[in-house]
Amino acid sequence: MRKDILTVNDLNVYIGDLHIVKSLNLLFERKTITAVMGPSGCGKTTFLRCINRMHELIPNTRVTGDIRLYNHDLFQLNPIYLRRKVGMVFQRPNPFPTMSIFENVLAGYLLNGIKLSKAQKAEIVEDALKKAALWNEVKDSLHRKGTFLSGGQQQRLCISRALAMKPKVLLLDEPTSALDPKSTAHIEELLIELKKKVTIVIVTHNIAQASRISDHSAFMYLGELVEHGPTQKLFTVPKDKRTEEYLIGKIG
């Protein structure tokens, strides 16, 4: 078994005339958490979006280089297939307001018109909610609207919605920046548990969070990948001066 699941080779992203991501090379290992850090506007979110091709929603985007998922160039894959393999969780919880908790978890199947038996549905929902550590809180109110939940619960609902599709990779774009400390801690524990099954890439502003949960860290600055490596090493003996300055709060 290869250890790496995603490789990024000389990736450049342009939006209009702006060069957002500059020749990025990176390798993600299977079943690890990689934190991508950097100040606002450094291109980390754009980079994350490229991994499941959500960047294509932004008008005038151009990409060179490639990203390989299990050695398939993911820009050659069908984006619909790719997005089922690479799930995404956004900064703000965004459950579907017209759907119940139950339907929200199954949204990927329901919206795609994938037929499931009642038993399969119940199984997927229970499994996904348990993985997202939400099952005990909502098991008696599965048919209430997802928007009745608290912010932290909504975010875990969004995580279980992504997990229900059984993705290989889970991308999280600052998933806790809109949440209170308690919900944040909850989600961090959950991510550490989840890495047993999926590869996680998390973009975060929060340096402490990156140090708490990630195995590998990458630091981006002005569109460049400045440094990456095992989190412990990057946090204790950063090679680049900019990384050090970012970690002690001088930039960003």
Footprint on this chain of other proteins (rule: CB under 8 A): 52, 54, 57, 79-84, 87-88, 90, 92, 94-98, 107-108, 110-113, 158, 161-162, 165
**By C-beta, is 175 or 238 nearer to other proteins?**
175
Q: How far is the CB of 119 from other proteins (least distance, A)?
A: 22
Closest approach of Cβ 90 to other proteins, in Å?
6
Which one, 164 or 207, has the nearer CB to other proteins? Answer: 164
* DSSP state letters, 72-128: EETTTS-HHHHHHHEEEE-SS----TTSBHHHHHTHHHHHHT----HHHHHHHHHHH
**Quick one: which of 15, 91, 8, 7 has its CA closest to 46?**
15
* Min dist. Cβ of residue 170 to other proteins (A): 11
**Between residues 114 and 237, which has the closer beta carbon with respect to other proteins?**
114
- Please say whether the beta carbons of 63 and 8 come within 8 A: no
Please state, in angstroms and as integers, the Cα–Cα distance from residue 108 to each residue in 48, 85, 102, following that order: 20, 12, 12
* Neighbouring C-alpha atoms within 13 Å toward the C-beta of 20: 21
Minimum distance from CB of 103 to other proteins (Å)? 11
**Residue 16: CB minimum distance to other proteins, A:** 14
The sign of the dihedral angle between the CA atoms of 214, 219, 225, 231 is negative
**What are the φ and ψ backbone dihedral angles of 4, each rounded to 5 degrees?**
-90, 145
Q: H helices of 10-51, where?
A: 44-51
Residue 49 beta carbon to other proteins: minimum distance, rounded to whole angstroms: 9
Which residue in this structure is represented by tokens 């993600």? 28
